[in-house]
């Protein structure tokens, strides 16, 4: 399987493709850098557009709404998030981007929920707050319901809460076995896989699967490496995710069918606490923290 894409810019080790040139499987390319470099922004895709909201920049937490066009490889700005934050979750339902929880400048964690409409370029505030204030969270969507899993608010959490945008209500779900923040999270059919993350004892290889229809968790094969939830995509029954190896650029995939892990081509640029979204069958990874402590403006794109 190949895909035709256009990328400009330069990242060491990444493939630069001309217009019409096809990307091979299990390869990385680079997109135009973000106008504002950030680590751990809230990221979600709606059609061809990816929204990179907030995050922590070189001078602190920001509220910027950076919009990336995956077809033209160009950036533009949207209305900023009313709440500047990082370490928040983002999820798109019916063309609306929901930004949930996170960390603000004035508070370690928050439960604020706000929604962005890209058609009107406006935000809706005052939505039902998440029951548990927390940061370092990710979210997935199944059949219009947003599941927010794990997180941190003084300790690593087993908390699982779901949000129904249609009714603006929250529901408490069965908890994780192990409390973690920043796990690699993805929906594989009707199963949500949560792999790795940071536990109270440190980084973990723990892998758990949540069967949505049964509201229950099962333990799966642990990752061969410590995992973080930065660059993550679920596609074709597999969860693709970066791993916190010695160089912070290990990349691997978990197969739900075989309950096993496989190593893949490493990220061109080592980063952690980045964020990602998938569009058109490709994984787009944004920003993060470099090994020297600098905040990255990278856009790294993976073809599975």
The per-residue pLDDT for range 251-298, each reduced to its tens digit, is: 999 999 999 999 999 999 998 889 999 999 999 999 999 888 899 999
Tokens found for residue 78: 């949207």
Are 147 and 162 in contact by the 8 Å Cβ rule? The answer is yes
What does the angle CA 41 – CA 47 – CA 51 come to, to the nearest 5 degrees? 15
**Model pLDDT for residues 80-123, shown as the tens digit of each residue:** 999 999 999 999 999 999 999 999 998 789 999 999 999 999 99
CATH number at residue 265: 2.120.10.80
Q: What is the pLDDT of residue 18?
A: 42
**247-286 core/surface letters (b: 16 or more CB in 10 A; e: else):** ebbbbbbbebeeeebeebebbbbbbbbbbbbbbeebbbbb
Q: Of 132, 142, 210, 224, nearest to 178 (Cα)?
A: 210
Predicted TM-score of the model (pTM): 0.92
Instruction: Provide the domain count of the chain.
Output: 1
Structure tokens at 9: 């810019």
Of 27-41, 203-217, 244-258, 275-289, give the lowest mean pLDDT range. 244-258
Structural domain includes residue 91 = yes
3 state SS of 40: coil
- Position 1 in a domain: no
Tell me the residue range of the domain where 52 lies. Answer: 36-303
As beta bridge partners, residue 22 has 4
* 25 part of a folded domain: no
Distance, CA of 157 to CA of 222 (rounded, Å): 19
Is 80 a member of any domain? Answer: yes
Using the CB atoms, write b or e for 215-246: b if 16+ within 10 Å: eebeebeebebbbbbbbbbbeeebbbbbbbbe
Q: What are phi and psi of 13, to 5 degrees?
A: 85, -10
Say if 291 falls within a structural domain.
yes
- What pLDDT, on the 0 to 100 scale, is given for residue 238? 97
Q: What are phi and psi of 213, to 5 degrees?
A: -70, -20
- Is there a domain that residue 26 lies in? no
* Mean pLDDT taken over the chain: 91
Residue 11 in domain:
no
Question: Residues with Cβ < 8 Å from 260, sequence gap 6 or more?
Answer: 221, 254
Tell me if 83 is assigned to some domain. Answer: yes
The pLDDT score that the predictor gives to residue 22 is 60
Question: HSE-up of 237 (CA within 13 Å, CB side)?
Answer: 6
């Amino acid at each position: 399987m190949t895909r035709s894409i256009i990328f400009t810019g330069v990242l060491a080790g990444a493939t630069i493709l001309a217009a019409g040139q096809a990307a091979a499987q299990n390869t990385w390319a680079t997109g135009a850098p973000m106008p504002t470099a950030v680590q751990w922004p809230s990221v979600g895709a709606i059609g061809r557009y990816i929204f990179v909201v907030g995050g922590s920049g070189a001078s602190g937490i920001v509220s910027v709404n950076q919009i990336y066009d995956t077809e033209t490889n160009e950036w533009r700005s949207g209305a900023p998030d009313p709440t500047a934050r990082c370490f928040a979750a983002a999820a798109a339902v019916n063309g609306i981007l929901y930004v949930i929880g996170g960390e603000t400048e004035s508070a370690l964690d928050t439960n604020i929920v706000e929604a962005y409409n890209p058609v009107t370029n406006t935000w809706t505030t005052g939505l039902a707050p998440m029951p548990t204030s927390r940061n370092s969270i990710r979210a997935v969507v199944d059949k219009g319901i947003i599941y927010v899993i794990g997180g941190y608010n003084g300790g690593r959490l087993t908390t699982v809460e779901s949000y129904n945008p249609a009714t603006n209500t929250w529901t408490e779900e069965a908890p994780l076995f192990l409390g973690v923040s920043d796990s690699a999270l993805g929906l594989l059919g009707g199963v949500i896989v949560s792999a790795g993350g940071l536990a109270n004892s440190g980084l973990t290889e723990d892998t758990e699967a949540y069967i949505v229809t049964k509201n229950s968790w099962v333990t799966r094969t642990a990752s061969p490496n410590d995992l973080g939830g930065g660059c993550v995509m679920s596609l074709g029954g597999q969860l693709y995710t970066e791993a916190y190896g010695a160089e912070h650029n290990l990349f691997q995939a978990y197969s739900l069918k075989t309950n096993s892990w496989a190593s893949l081509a490493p990220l061109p640029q080592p980063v952690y606490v980045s964020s990602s979204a998938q569009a058109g069958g490709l994984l787009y990874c944004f920003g993060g923290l470099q090994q020297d402590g600098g905040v990255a403006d990278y856009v790294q794109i993976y073809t599975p």
